[in-house]
Amino acid sequence: MTVFNPWEMACQQLDMVADKLNLDKGIHAKLRHCKRALIVSVPIWMDDDTVEVFEGYRVQHNLERGPAKGGIRYHPDVTLDEVKALAMWMTWKCAVVNIPYGGAKGGVVCDPTKMSLKEIEKLTRRLTSEISIIIGPEKDIPAPDVNTNPQVMSWIMDTYSMGVGYSAPGVVTGKPIEIGGSLGRHTATGRGAMLVIHEAMKHLKMKPSDTRIAIQGFGNVGSSLARYLHELGCPVVAVTDVSGGLFNEKGLDVPALLAHVERQPQRLIAGFDGGDHLAGEPAANEALFKLDVEILAPCALENQITADNAGNIRARIIAEGANGPTTPEADVILHENGVLVLPDILTNAGGVTVSYFEWVQDLQSIFWDLESIDRELTRIMTRSFHEVMAIAEREQCDLRLAAYMLGVNRVATAVKLRGVFP
């Protein structure tokens, strides 16, 4: 089996669209490199009075269209190449929905499930102090990602504010409402994905009641997507998380499942009695990918749909709630099998879109109501879907290539206009 490297995959995707766009070689070369990558040591006192040193990263891929934007994840498998790839994907994502950000990403190699809340707070505050030289409301605005949340963003905002001597809510997004967060931010990625899926369903003349959904991952994105698709009238027949899988061919009781997860300390689906369980994450995901459903939504980590399992997928649509869940080799197989892939840089862009709304509100100290936020999110996601679909139909290509053509072209235009310093 080929060893997966997310950075090589991201560059491969860029190379493909560069050929399609006949991209200037100099611009192509610039986009193939990250502007800066910061590696930091994060030493903290653990609860047992020992010192442990973690490694952290903050990568900024491109700043041509505005300050950098991207989440921070805490995970034992974080690597520099993964963070670089995620930063590049963020650049394209922001450009696809046409918001004035460049792409960034951050991460710490750690296992937060084995750390106390106090240890996670110490880790977050020390990380913030180490990366504060390159983040800020005008420079780089972090956000939640895998295993981080509004509380982590609160600690980042507070630590950064102590350093500059005044409250700086615009340094992060995804904060609690009480300290400058935005209404609708927590569920924005799931809501944005639902909007893209709904437009795709209308394009293919699919009725919600006849559209069965399977979701891999039931964290913030997967659970929000399940909720919105259930409200749309789609039967959610299967979900998985790290505790295993849950299946009900008649459709899960999504509100009851969400309430169950909310009550669990680890926020897992295990123990819910509204469907058949399959224990073990690898086995559950393998079974999920083989289900006879209309839509499969991978909402976990990257490198989930590969050449090894793409041929088993029976879904009509794959909606990428996660970043980079499908490899280029799998894309070829899916395209040949007639599967419509709604690419990550379009489908999960709702989160960064409402993060942009939050940042604007913080800078202006004027806050919007939820109706205004939902209306603007719907407008942007719907417009972006149709822009990507129009390119796909014109160029006779899949939606991923079309989305990349849209995003990369916008960034390349900015690079050309700004030129090369000095």
> ∠ CA(352), CA(202), CA(99), 5° rounding?
20
DSSP annotation of 268 reads -
**Token pair of 29 as six digits:** 């070369």
Q: Which domains does the chain have, with CATH numbers?
A: 34-179 (3.40.50.10860), 188-347 (3.40.50.720)
Q: How far apart are CA 376 and CA 389, in angstroms?
A: 20
Separation between Cα atoms, residue 222 and residue 168, nearest integer Å: 31
DSSP 95-108: HHTT-S-EEEEEEE
Nearest to 191 by CA among 229, 159, 154: 229
Neighbouring C-beta atoms of residue 283, cutoff 10 Å: 13
Amino acid 284: pLDDT = 84
- Are 217 and 202 in contact, with CB atoms under 8 Å apart? no
d(CA 233, CA 183): 24
Half-sphere exposure of 280 (CA within 13 A, CB side): 4
Q: Out of 105, 114, 202, 290, which one is annotated catalytic?
A: 105
Q: Could you state, in chain order, the average pLDDT of each consecutive group of 10 residues for the chain (422 residues)?
A: 79 93 96 98 98 98 97 96 96 98 98 96 98 98 94 98 97 97 95 98 96 94 96 96 90 95 86 81 84 95 89 95 91 94 96 97 97 98 98 95 97 96 90
Burial status of residue 336 (CB atoms within 10 A of its CB: 0-12, 13-18, 19 or more) = exposed
Q: Which residues contact 401 (CB under 8 A, 6 or more apart)?
A: 16, 17, 20, 392, 395
Asked if 86 and 99 count as a contact pair (C-beta separation under 8 A), the reply is: no
Active site residue 105: yes
Q: What is the pLDDT of residue 182?
A: 97
The pLDDT, as a whole number, for residue 1 is 47
Looking at residue 243, what is its pLDDT?
85
What DSSP letter does each residue of 321-343 carry, written as one string? -SSS-B-HHHHHHHHHTTPEEE-
